[in-house]
């Protein structure tokens, strides 16, 4: 699937504001992939498609998640705002024949992250948060970090997301904690190796 085909597909499905966001994510993901040595095509495609089923009904999303083994159906115990991510991967696989696990996993984990995220997963996770149409407290700090260090930017995003959910007394999906701890522990290990 070409990027322009993906753009046309989401334009037919998403409201204008979400379409503009998705184009912004795709462009930002391409820039991040270029900066950090990732696959620009995969980053642009995953970014364009990441929210494709965002406005499907909860029943449709749940059915997609439960239909495909290997998707993380445990997210159904948490906020329904997470469901579009794994359902989106199922949808693009079924509808467009996209079966590249890198692209599918980047879509699946774009809202939560996970331990041992791949480069593409980090890029889509971060691009979704920092694309130019996003405007909320703290986003500029993460944007600045993204210019210097991908892992630091992802860790900051996770930290801010967890703090936001805790402040709102909302549940935090376990893979999000695991992603945060993984990056903190890797940074601690790297710091210790430098000082030894």
Model confidence over 117-147: pLDDT tens digits? 999 999 999 999 999 999 998 999 999 999 9
For tokens 């709102």, the residue is 168
pLDDT of residue 74: 84
**How does the average pLDDT of the chain come out, rounded?**
93
Whether 23 and 48 have beta carbons less than 8 Å apart is answered as: yes
* CB-count burial class (<10 Å; 0-12, 13-18, 19+) for 175: buried
From CA 186, how far away is CA 196, in angstroms rounded? 15
Model confidence over 64-78: pLDDT tens digits? 999 886 657 788 888
pLDDT of residue 69: 62
Model confidence over 72-121: pLDDT tens digits? 778 888 899 999 999 999 999 999 999 999 999 999 999 999 999 999 99
pLDDT of residue 191: 54
Tell me what percent of the residues of the chain surpass a pLDDT of 90.
86
């Amino acid at each position: 699937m070409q990027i322009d085909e993906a753009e046309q597909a989401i334009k037919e499905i998403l409201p204008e504001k979400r379409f503009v966001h998705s184009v912004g994510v795709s462009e930002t993901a391409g820039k991040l992939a270029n900066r950090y040595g990732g696959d620009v095509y995969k980053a642009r495609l995953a970014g364009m498609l990441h929210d494709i089923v965002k406005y499907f009904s909860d029943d449709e999303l749940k059915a997609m998640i439960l239909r495909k083994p290997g998707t993380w159906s445990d997210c159904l115990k948490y906020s329904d705002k997470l469901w579009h991510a794994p359902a989106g991967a199922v949808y693009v696989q079924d509808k467009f024949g996209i079966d590249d696990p890198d692209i599918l996993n980047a879509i699946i984990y774009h809202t939560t992250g996970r331990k041992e995220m791949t480069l593409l997963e980090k890029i889509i996770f971060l691009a979704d948060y920092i694309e130019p149409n996003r405007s909320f407290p703290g986003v500029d700090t993460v944007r600045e970090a993204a210019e210097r260090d991908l892992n630091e930017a992802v860790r900051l995003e996770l930290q801010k997301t967890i703090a936001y959910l805790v402040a709102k007394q909302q549940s935090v999906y376990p893979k999000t904690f695991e992603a945060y701890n993984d990056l903190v522990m890797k940074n601690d290990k790297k710091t210790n190796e430098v000082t030894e």
